[in-house]
């Protein structure tokens, strides 16, 4: 069987990701990090290690009270991607100065990066960003108002990135939804049969129904990972977004699939929480109807990616099974549950939350012909079923073919508000 462009891209993205994960991470001591901060960035501070999977990060507590993060990149990381991430932060800071993101700290001579020799003789790229305090969204209760602010923040970030581009934005990324079907060749790694079936169904539907529509939607560079571990909160508001390592040029609406997929896992009313996030986004950047219709599929595809990538990677890294497989069972279960959901029901819920009429294409076979004979036949059918007591009082009778909440949809596809 010949490989598809998507499967080739998926294999390349996986190989690229594995090269970074398998390369030895930097191994600087806190004392060495302190020296780098002072010598290269003119920051006199104490250095404290932070958790990181592939890089090395240190929190810097400066003597003047400021807080920074010294980031030492994995030597296998593409310098062009580091440049894209840094340039994006600079662009956002100008486009939306009030948006809480890490700020870039340059060297005294204005450089964004500093190359340093490691204790093992390898060369590393170091940079400094401002430290953002706050509670992780993963540790907070997703109240409706917080979920709405997550959506609004996602939209603000996308709006700030509008107009930004970088040559590295088309890079191959495992988490690129546009290349999702490239991972179909790896579904055999999924051990749970029910999860595997659900994932394969998602990828099949994605290829035939979703991808052609995605290609027609608004696209730009997006954050692509506004997850519970990258979002900082305080009470019911978002206070910061971190980790710009998954920036990618993709359909704008793909950004919202990440927080929705994470916040609906295990939630008693997943559609309600998805609607809050969507409404928050829509309040900042109005979503098009075609985008709203695809949110269900983008969320399920994101979950399918998570389940597939985790099961794929754990075979190569069994020693990190607990970390890699964290949440996989929940996402797999959600995928199975979503098979029973109705796309139209979720779409209608999202439209109501955005306070816009529901746009429904009425099939030709239920449309009423416009000639007078057909109108009279409809009136006669109405009298036969409802009796002659219920009179028609519109000059031009409305032919309602469907209802959704407070909305009535006529045979032309118009949405009418039922105000009775």
Backbone angles phi, psi at 232, to 5 degrees: -105, 140
- 399 pLDDT higher than 60: yes
Q: What integer is the mean pLDDT of 398-409?
A: 66
Per-residue pLDDT, 197? 95
d(CA 309, CA 243): 19
321, pLDDT greater than 90 = no
- One domain for residues 65 and 147: no
- Position 239 pLDDT exceeds 90: yes
Reference 285, options 227, 383, 354; nearest CA is 354
What pLDDT digit, counting tens, does each position of 378-395 carry? 777 777 666 776 776 666
- Mean pLDDT score of the chain: 87
Owning domain of residue 410:
364-417
When pLDDT is cut at 50, 70 and 90, the band that residue 372 belongs to is very low
Higher pLDDT, 161 or 21: 161
Please give the C-alpha separations between residue 67 and each of 39, 129, 229, 237, 288, in angstroms, as whole numbers: 17, 9, 20, 22, 41
Q: Are residues 36 and 76 in the same domain?
A: yes
Q: Within this chain, do residues 279 and 337 fall inside the same structural domain, yes or no?
A: yes
387: in domain: yes
Listed residues 301, 334, 353: the one ending a domain: 353
CATH assignment of the domain containing 159? 3.90.1200.10
Q: How confident is the model at residue 323 (pLDDT cuts 50, 70, 90)?
A: confident
Residue at 255 is within a domain: yes
Residue 358 lies in a domain: no
- pLDDT classification of 324: cutoffs 50, 70, 90: confident
* Residue 366: predicted pLDDT: 40
SS3 assignment for 349-382: HHHHHCCCCCCCCCCHHHCCCCCHHHHHHHHHHH
3-state secondary structure of 415: strand
112: domain CATH number is 3.30.200.20
Report pLDDT for 22.
Answer: 63
Which of residues 356 and 38 earns the better pLDDT score? 38
Q: Are residues 86 and 199 in the same domain?
A: no
Q: What is the pLDDT of residue 249?
A: 97
Q: What is the pLDDT of residues 190-230, one digit of tens each?
A: 999 999 999 999 999 999 999 999 999 999 999 999 999 99
Q: Residue 247 falls within a domain, yes or no?
A: yes
| Domain finish residue from 77, 96, 130 | 130
The pLDDT assigned to 378 comes to 72
State whether 255 and 123 are in the same domain.
no
Looking at the fold, whether 81 and 161 belong to one and the same domain comes out as no
Q: Looking at residue 325, what is its pLDDT?
A: 86
The span from the CA of 239 to the CA of 96, in Å, is 14
Q: What is the pLDDT of residue 412?
A: 57
Residue 338 CA, distance from chain mean position = 18
User: What pLDDT shows up at residue 1?
Assistant: 45
pLDDT at 38 over 80: yes
pLDDT at 404: 58
Q: Grade residue 53 by pLDDT with cuts at 50, 70 and 90.
A: confident
CB atoms within 10 A of CB 165: 15
Domain count, the chain: 3
Q: Is the dihedral of CA 7, 173, 138, 210 positive or negative?
A: negative
From residue 392, alpha-carbon distances to 186, 388, 398, 402, 413 in Å are 60, 10, 9, 18, 21
196 and 163 share a domain?
Answer: yes
What's the pLDDT band for 369 if we cut at 50, 70, 90? very low
- Residues 308 and 405 placed together within one structural domain of the fold: no
Identify whether residues 97 and 166 lie together within a single domain. no
Q: Are residues 154 and 48 in the same domain?
A: no
């Amino acid at each position: 069987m010949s490989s598809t462009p998507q499967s080739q891209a998926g294999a390349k993205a996986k190989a690229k990701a594995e090269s970074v994960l398998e390369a030895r991470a930097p191994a600087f001591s806190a004392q060495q990090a302190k020296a780098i901060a002072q010598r290269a960035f003119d920051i006199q501070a104490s250095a404290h290690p932070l958790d990181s999977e592939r890089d090395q990060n240190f929190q810097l507590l400066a003597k003047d009270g400021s807080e920074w993060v010294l980031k030492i990149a994995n030597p296998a990381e593409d310098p062009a991607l580091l440049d894209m991430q840094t340039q994006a932060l600079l662009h956002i800071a100008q486009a939306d100065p009030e948006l809480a993101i890490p700020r870039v700290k340059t060297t005294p001579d204005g450089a964004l990066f500093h190359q340093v020799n490691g204790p093992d003789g390898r060369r590393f790229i170091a940079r400094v960003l401002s430290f953002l305090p706050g509670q992780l969204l993963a540790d907070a209760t997703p109240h409706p108002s917080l979920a709405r602010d997550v959506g609004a923040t996602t939209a603000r970030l996308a709006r700030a990135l509008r107009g930004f581009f970088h040559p590295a934005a088309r890079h191959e990324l495992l988490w690129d939804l546009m290349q999702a079907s490239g991972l179909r060749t790896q579904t055999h790694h999924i051990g749970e049969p029910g999860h595997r079936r659900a994932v394969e169904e998602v990828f099949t539907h994605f290829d035939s129904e979703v991808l052609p529509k995605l290609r027609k939607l608004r696209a730009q560079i997006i954050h692509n990972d506004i997850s519970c571990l990258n979002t900082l909160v305080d009470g019911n508001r978002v206070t910061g977004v971190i980790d710009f390592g998954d920036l990618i040029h993709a359909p704008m609406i793909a950004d919202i699939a990440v927080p929705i997929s994470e916040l609906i896992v295990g939630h008693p009313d997943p559609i309600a929480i998805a609607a809050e996030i969507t409404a928050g986004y829509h309040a900042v950047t109005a979503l098009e109807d075609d985008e709203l219709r695809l949110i269900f599929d983008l969320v399920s595809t994101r979950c399918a990616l998570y389940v597939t990538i985790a099961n794929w990677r754990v075979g190569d890294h069994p020693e990190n099974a607990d970390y890699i497989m964290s949440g996989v069972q929940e996402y797999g279960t959600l995928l199975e549950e979503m098979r029973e959901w109705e796309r139209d029901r979720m779409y209608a819920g999202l439209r109501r939350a955005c306070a816009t009429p529901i746009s429904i294409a009425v099939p030709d076979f239920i449309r009423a012909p416009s000639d007078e004979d057909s109108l009279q036949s409809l009136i006669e059918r109405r009298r036969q079923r409802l009796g002659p007591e219920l009179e028609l009082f519109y000059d031009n009778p409305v032919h309602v073919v469907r209802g959704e909440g407070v909305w009535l949809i006529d045979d032309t596809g118009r949405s009418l508000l039922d105000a009775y």
